[in-house]
Structure formats: C-alpha cells, structure tokens
A and B are shown apart, each in its own frame.
Chain A
Amino acid sequence: MDLKQIYKYGSPPQYFKLSLKSENWFLIPGIFLMIIGCVGGLFIAPPDYQMGDAFRIIYFHVPSAFLSMSAYAYMAGAALIGIVWRSNVAFSVAKSIAPFGASFTFLALVTGMLWGKPMWGTVWVWDARLTSEFILLLLFLGYILLHLSIKEQKKADLAASVLALTGVINLPIIHYSVVWWNTLHQASTISKLSSSSITGDMLWPLLVMIFGYGFFFWGVICRVVASEILKREKRSKWVEQYIKELR
C-alpha cells in the first residue's frame, strides 16, 4: 500500500466515511470480547485464595486504568498531528477522545476505591498510581474545560492541544515524583506477560477484557468523531449532499 494514501484521510469527508465504515469493525468485536471477558472473569476464573471473590473487580479496574492512560496518549498524538499539519480531522479526534478518556479515568478511580475498601480497609490511599490517575483526570478535565471556554473553534483546538502536549511531557515526571514516596499498591499484575504474577485461569479473561475495552473504545470514538466532523463541516457542500442522501 502506498503510504501517501494516509494523506487522503486528512480530508474531512474521507475520514468521515472511513470512521462510519470502521465503526462496526471495532464495536462488534469489542462487545463480543467484553461479554466473553465478563463471563470468564466473573464465573469461570477461580476465586483468589486471599481476596476471595472481591478480586473480580480487577476485570473492570485494570482495563479502565489501562485505557485511560492510552487514551491520553492517543489524544496527545492526535493533538500533535493537529498542531503540525493543522489538520481539522486530528483536532476533532483529540476533542472526541477527551471526555471518554476522562470517564475511563473516573471509572478506574471508582473501581479502585471499591476494591480498596475491602482489601486495604480504606477507599483511598496516598499511593503513586492512584494519585497519578487522579492527576490524569485533572489533565483531561483541564483539556475539556479549556476547549469549552474558548469561543473560537480554531483557537480552542490549538490551545487545548498545547495543554495536552505539555501534559505528556509532565506525566512521567509527575508519576515518578509521586513514586518517590513508596506505597502499598500491589505491584503491577501484568508487567511482562512471561513473568506475570497471575495464573493463566485468571489472566485470560483480563487480557480479553483489555482488548474488549480497547475495541469498544475505538468503536465509540469512530462514531463520535464522525458526528464531530459533521458538526464542524455543517456549512460545507458534502454534508448537505450526505444529508440529502439520507432522506
């Protein structure tokens, strides 16, 4: 495939068609994988000998935490592409990712709290990963609010993207400075697949859930980006044509 084909998708109508076409390719496998993961995680996997059944919230906690961080990375990547090529499509991708990233971050925090209550005895501990997750939520909220509060679309896109990129530079620094005070969050469960500290019976639903979340996320993003592009291009010819065809 010619690499220059990618440039084609810089134009809004092309990208709009692509995202509508690929929506179901992400959404259906995503829902399918999530159902499998839920069944596997909630019913098939054996209960943990220490934590009992309470550990099963891991099947929602870990994928959301995973996704919240990768969502920030995707958002920042889109913001970078938008700044470099001044691409409206990239900006709409970044803008549509932000609320979903924020909600997955929120979900990771809430499930972490629910898990922490029976395990640690408190809902919140001042440990590195919880705090960085909270900071991540603040960064997402900053992006969303900055975008909302600047009236002009173009300026809002650029300013919010600068903020997203600053966050990328700063996130590792924040994370490692919070790690400075050592903590009681259990060490990463699946750092490397080969040496993971979780048995295969428990591991496969987790991986399935992570992939399911990822596919589902992109499926939703495809649809949201499509509607965002429609909103931005509402005055152009091709949108008029598209709406006529729908009727």
Chain B
Amino acid sequence: MRIYPQLFLRDLKVSMKRWSDFLTGMIMFILVAFIFPLIAGSDQDFMHRIIGPVMLLSSLLASLISMQNIFKPDLINGSLEQLVLSRHSLNGLIFIKILSYWISSSLPLVVVSSLIASAYYVTGIDIIKVMLTVLLSTTTLVNINSLAAALTLGVRYPGALMTLILFPLSLPILIFGSKAIEYSILGLDSSGPFYFLTGMMLLSFSLGPIATAFAIRISID
C-alpha cells in the first residue's frame, strides 16, 4: 500500500519542477478576476453581484489552462503506461493523481481567492465562504478536467475539444457555485447551494476516478 503516498509525493515533486505550468493557471485566475471590475465598472453593489460568476468562471478558465498537463507529460515519458501495467488498482492510482493535481493546481487558487474577494469589497465571514465555494467547486472541476483530458489523450490538438467537453459538464457547478457566493453576500441562507456543491464533490470523486481510469485504459492499450 506504500505506492499511494509514494505516487502522491512523486506527483507533487514533478509539479514543483513544472511550476511554470501551474503559475500560468493562477495568473489566468487573477487576470480574469481583476479584468472584470476594470471593464465593467467597480461600484460596490455591482462588484458584490458579479463576484460569484467571476470566481467560478475564472477558476474554470484557469483549469482549462493547466488541464493539458494532467496526463500528457506522463503519457509522453511512459510513466502512465507503467501505472496501467502495475498490479495496483488503476482507479486508486488515478484518484491519487487527481488529488495531487488538485493540490498543485487549485489549492493556490483557493488561497488567492481570499485576496480577490477582499478586492471585491467582500468582508468578514463571507471571505471564508468564497474560499469554501472555490474549494468545493474546484474539487469537482478537477474530476471533470481529468476525465476530459483522459478522453482526449489520443488527440493531437485537444484544446477546443476539451473545452467543448468540459463546459456542458461543469455547468451545474458554475450555477450553484455562483449562487452560493451570491446568497452568502446577500445575507440569505446559502446552505442549499453548499450542500449541492458538497454532494457534487462526493459524486465526482466517487465516479470520476473510475471513468478517468477507464478512459486512460482505452487510450493506452
């Protein structure tokens, strides 16, 4: 069972080496979030109204930037094939890979989102709620990302195709995520959207690795 922590640490180390890829995602996140007030106006009410959609949209775009690096480098250097051939369950290995990918690509976004929230004049406990929303929605998005990346492993230029696969599947997360932020800022009861996001996270972490592992087996054999 030692393979799981080993793989986890190995993936984290590799992504530290490729830090520029993940930095690009984070820059994208900040850029999109900061460009909205600049082009659409920056009075407080308006900012409070758009922060939900902006947060979700910028994390979606950030994930689009970095998602090509989930499996492609491992496919090229051959380590993905070794994972498929190993005697351990591929579902578990993929789960670990997705988790470490989430830590290197999305955990920084969660931290940065607190700064962006305060730049959007959000105060107090609402900042925590914004961070929680970004955390819950990126964990789901990461699973959809990895499924889309695995399905398009055999495609030479997968960019547009990945987008086409990713957008419809991530729509519920976008809607409920921005509702969660909107309700918390308006002072309404936001537990409903948060429950939904948590449910989606559990669903995607239980089905996502299985579907991704299946898709990887298809593209490798």
Binary interface profile of A, 140-175, with partner B (CB < 8 Å = 1, else 0)?
A: 011001100111100100110011011101100110
Chain B residue with Cβ nearest A160 = B151
Number of interface residues of A (CB under 8 A): 26
Query: Which B residues touch A139, using CB under 8 A?
Result: 168
Contact A150 B154 (CB under 8 A): yes
Query: Which A residues touch B89, using CB under 8 A?
Result: none
Contact A163 B151 (CB under 8 A): yes
Other A-B pairs, 5, CB within 8 Å; known A174-B171, A177-B171, A178-B175: A138-B167, A145-B164, A150-B154, A163-B165, A174-B172
Contact B215 A142 (CB under 8 A): no
Does B30 sit within 8 A of A, measured CB to CB?
no
**What bracket does the count of chain B residues touching chain A fall in?**
20 to 34
Query: Which B residues touch A49, using CB under 8 A?
Result: none
Does A36 sit within 8 A of B, measured CB to CB?
no
Query: Which B residues touch A145, using CB under 8 A?
Result: 161, 164
Contact A149 B161 (CB under 8 A): yes
Does A135 sit within 8 A of B, measured CB to CB?
yes
Secondary structure of the B contact surface, majority rule: helix
Chain B residue with Cβ nearest A145 = B161
Contact A162 B214 (CB under 8 A): yes
Q: Which residue numbers of A lie inside 8 Å of B, CB to CB? A: 135, 138-139, 141-142, 145-146, 149-152, 155, 158-159, 162-163, 165-167, 169-170, 173-174, 177-178, 180
Contact B175 A135 (CB under 8 A): no
Does B63 sit within 8 A of A, measured CB to CB?
no
